[in-house]
Amino acid sequence: MAYFTPETIAKVKKIDLLTFLKATNPEEVVYFSRGTYCTRTHDSLKISNGMWYWFSRGVGGKTALEYLIQVEEYSFTEAMNLLTKQLEYTPTAFINYQDKVKVDKLIMPDKSDNNDKAKHYLISRGIDESIIQECIDNDLIYEQKSNGNVVFVGKDNNQHSRYAFIRGSNSSRYMHEASGSDKAYSFRLISNKKCDSVHLFESAIDLLSYATLNKNWYEMNLLSLGGIYKATYSDSEIKIPISVKKYLEQNKDTTKIYLHFDNDSAGKLASNSFQQVLKKDYEVIDDPPKIGKDFNDYLCNIKQIKNNKIYERRNER
């Protein structure tokens, strides 16, 4: 069995897919839109900002190594042999993604003919079926074609789709933002009446769990941060996600902000950070779940649903 040193593996893992394809098979690369490419063989495999995602299969990654194993079905050894030879005979000029290209066009995952698998998954997490159906009816949730992933859609004030968060409904627990997503318009449920408060959650699942626990959820403003908020400290500032900034800019009458973050170190750090920044202008209420790690744990505990989920990785993209 071939042996590869840690240094060689680390070097191979620096090769992104777009660099690899342009160097070895440029005819396979097809321009899709600004900053985004697909492959000629798999038109649902999109490459953008150093990442790639195969929408029809629900798999993705960053490196050419992952692509060869997951898409081309190479073994690890076969993929490493190919990539190390490529480095030896054709030195690769890596594409610099530090200054990411802004993708103007939101690339929405293809819709399935029905939402059965997505609904079944959300119901299995304890989410109320009537809330799920209302979100589906308003094009805020749908099922991705082929793989059954759940897609959570964020819209602007004109009801135009501006954001999409894809969440795997299988054991992979895959999470990914659609290319071109505008983080300022993350998934949310907006009150049907005038309301001076907003509730913030780490994820769409937690948001929907909280709505399930509250019969008057339709009178609340519920905002997901589109993944974990990672507190960022500097000498002079603590950063607040653009989704929260945008909401507060557009809703000047907001006076109260409820924080429903996870019962872990990251959630507590995020809550403390928000309170430090926002308490000058708003009444900030820290309201984590009473039981469990997050509000879905709390909901499942109340409903006596056995929750075997693998806790989601925190992705800030």
- Indicate the residue type of 138: N
Residues 254 and 127 in one domain: yes
Flag whether 1 is in a domain. Answer: no
In a domain, 172, yes or no: yes
Range of the structural domain that residue 222 is part of = 116-303
| 41/132 same-domain check | no
The reply to whether 138 and 273 lie within a common domain is: yes
pLDDT confidence of residue 316: 32
pLDDT of residue 1: 54
The answer on 55 and 133 residing in a single domain is no
156 and 278 share one domain: yes
Domain presence at residue 316: no
Asked if the structure places residue 107 within a domain, the reply is no
Supply the pLDDT for residue 63. Answer: 92
With 0.95 as the threshold, say if the pTM is over it: no
Separation of alpha carbons 277 and 173, rounded Å: 32
For residues 60 and 205, membership in a common domain is answered with no
In a shared domain, residues 28 and 120: no
Q: What's the pLDDT score for residue 151?
A: 95
Query: Do 255 and 197 contact (CB within 8 A), yes or no?
Result: yes
194 and 259 housed in the same domain: yes
Are 158 and 69 part of one and the same domain? no
CATH number of the domain that 63 lies in? 3.90.580.10
Per the domain annotation, does 182 fall within a domain? yes
**Same-domain status, 137 and 233:** yes
At residue 235, the pLDDT reads: 35
- The whole-number pLDDT of residue 113 equals 94
Q: Are residues 141 and 262 in the same domain?
A: yes
156 & 24 share domain:
no
Which CATH number goes with the domain that contains 269? 3.40.1360.10
Asked if residue 171 belongs to a domain, the reply is yes
Domain boundary among 89, 107, 136: 89
Secondary structure string (H, E, C) spanning the chain: CCCCCHHHHHHHCCCEHHHHHHHHCHHHEEEEECCEEEECCCCCEEEECCEEEECCCCEEECEHHHHHHHCCCCCHHHHHHHHHHHHHHCCCCCCCCCCCCCCCCCCCCCECCCCHHHHHHHHHCCCCHHHHHHHHHCCCEEEECCCCCEEEEEECCCCCEEEEEEECCCCCCCEEECCCCCHHHCCEECCCCCCCEEEEECCHHHHHHHHHHCCCHHHCCEEECCCCCCCCECCCCECCCHHHHHHHHHCCCCCEEEEECCCCHHHHHHHHHHHHHHCCCCEEEECCCCCCCCHHHHHHHHHCCCCCCCCCCCCCC
**Would you give per-residue pLDDT tens digits along the chain (317 residues)?**
567 888 889 988 989 999 888 877 787 888 887 678 888 888 889 998 889 998 878 888 999 999 999 998 888 998 898 888 777 654 444 544 444 445 567 888 889 999 999 999 999 999 999 999 999 999 999 999 878 899 999 999 999 999 999 888 876 567 778 878 899 999 999 999 999 999 999 999 999 999 999 999 999 999 999 754 444 444 345 578 899 999 999 999 999 999 999 998 888 888 998 999 999 999 999 999 999 999 999 999 999 987 655 444 333 33
User: Does residue 53 form part of some domain?
Assistant: yes
pLDDT at residue 311 in the model: 43
What's the total number of domains in the chain?
Answer: 2
Question: What pLDDT is stored for residue 231 in this prediction?
Answer: 44
Residue 13 lies in a domain: yes
Domain boundary among 89, 124, 159: 89
